Amino acid sequence: LGSLISKISPNFIRYASSARASGSSQRKVAVLGAGGGIGQPLSLLLKLSPLISDLSLYDIQHTKGVGADLSHIETRTKVRAYVGKNELSDALKGMDLVVIPAGVPRKPGMTRDDLFNTNATIVADLVSACAKNCPRAIIAIIANPVNSTVVIASEIMKAHNVYDEKKVIGVTTLDVVRAATFIAEAKGLDPAKVNIPVIGGHSGNTIIPLLSQTSPPVSFSQQELESLTTRIQNAGTEVVEAKAGAGSATLSMAHAGARFSFAVLEALSGKEGVVECGYIASRETEFSYFATPLLFGRNGVERSMGVGKLSDFEKKLIEKAKKELNGNIESGLTFAKQYL
């Protein structure tokens, strides 16, 4: 049986077997908010990755149990659990990548912006600690409203004189994951083979899927363009309503967060041509922060791949996103000024 299991198990552990990493390319990763709905399954996926030597779990609750539980999994990734503010500095020292899903999720009837008052301070406190303890780490922000929390994080790093605009990124991968899934469903394709850039921001109107740039190329009727765009923009709300008060997307987000983290880590270790979308300080459009496909390298984001050739429909979507996205960026800047 032992030899049978050893033949089977690598295929089961897709994440663990998807890449072989040498010791020198293994990295240290912290998850802040590791006790939560996203934090726990995200930490599980990271624990399965050979790209990670050390996994640091931080939260104000639950991490000791989650850490003990994950530490029994037969991978080499070392898990350490930290709980409460007094342990935050230790959780962050030496990290290459810090992923932040800490913060409250939506309930039905709320917008992501309704989370601002609580989550802005949580993100600001956590990023201040990153500035002090791991100023060169890449910071991947999942906590909503992403359109504003990334701005806050960037301003805080600036205030500590450690800002590197290649390293503070909002995770919008879930929009890309959903877009691929919904397109594949509509067109009878394998979702794993569908690629589509999603640009703009991460809330309602500001989520802009570039259906005209779907790969493999697919053609859509005007009605399909409209219904797919609406579904992608409202997919978060679809989950919030289905969970009926018990939170928002956690499992698909854990997958998306892991996909984003593995892309960053592979590029840090020298893999070339790694591209994922992300929301970041940007010069691609009139917006000072904007999600585009990003080329990752040994130091974080090497460059934005731009927005490509837009259809008239997509240009109109950008126009429609203007007010909300600019407002979200402005709120982030105003909060940061008061906080600092």
Q: Cα(269)–Cα(299) distance, rounded to whole angstroms? A: 10
**Please, which of residues 158-177 interact with ligand NAD by CB under 6 A?**
171, 174
Judged by CB under 6 A, does residue 328 bind ligand NAD? no
Residue from 151, 253, 267, 317 in contact with ligand NAD (CB under 6 A): 253
CB 234 within 8 A of CB 204: yes
Tokens representing 165? 């605009």
Non-local (6+) Cβ contacts of 8 within 8 A are none
Catalytic annotation on 255?
no
Tokens representing 196? 């589509």
Residue from 81, 115, 176, 225 in contact with ligand NAD (CB under 6 A): 115
Binding site for ligand LMR (CB under 6 A): 105-106, 112, 144, 174, 202, 236, 239-240, 248-249
Q: How distant, in Å, are the alpha carbons of 31, 33, 84, 301, 335 from that of 126? A: 11, 10, 12, 21, 15
Q: Please tell me which residue in 72, 160, 202, 255 is annotated as part of the active site.
A: 202
Angle, helices 39-47/63-70, rounded to nearest 10 degrees:
30
Name the amino acid, one letter, at 210. L
Measured from the CB of residue 96, what is the shortest distance to ligand NAD in angstroms? 19
Identify which of residues 57 and 239 has a Cβ nearer to ligand LMR in the complex.
Answer: 239
Tokens representing 186? 């509509």
Q: 10 Å Cβ neighbour count for 213? A: 18
165 binds, among ligand LMR, ligand NAD, none (CB under 5 to 8 A by kind): none
Binding mask 22-51 for ligand NAD (x = CB under 6 A): ----------xx-xxxxx------------
* Residue 332 assigned to a binding site: no
* Residue 36 assigned to a binding site: yes
Q: Which residues are near ligand NAD by CB under 6 A?
A: 32-33, 35-39, 59-62, 101-106, 115, 119, 122, 125-126, 142-144, 146, 171, 174, 202, 247-250, 253
Q: Report, as residue numbers or ranges, the catalytic residues.
A: 202
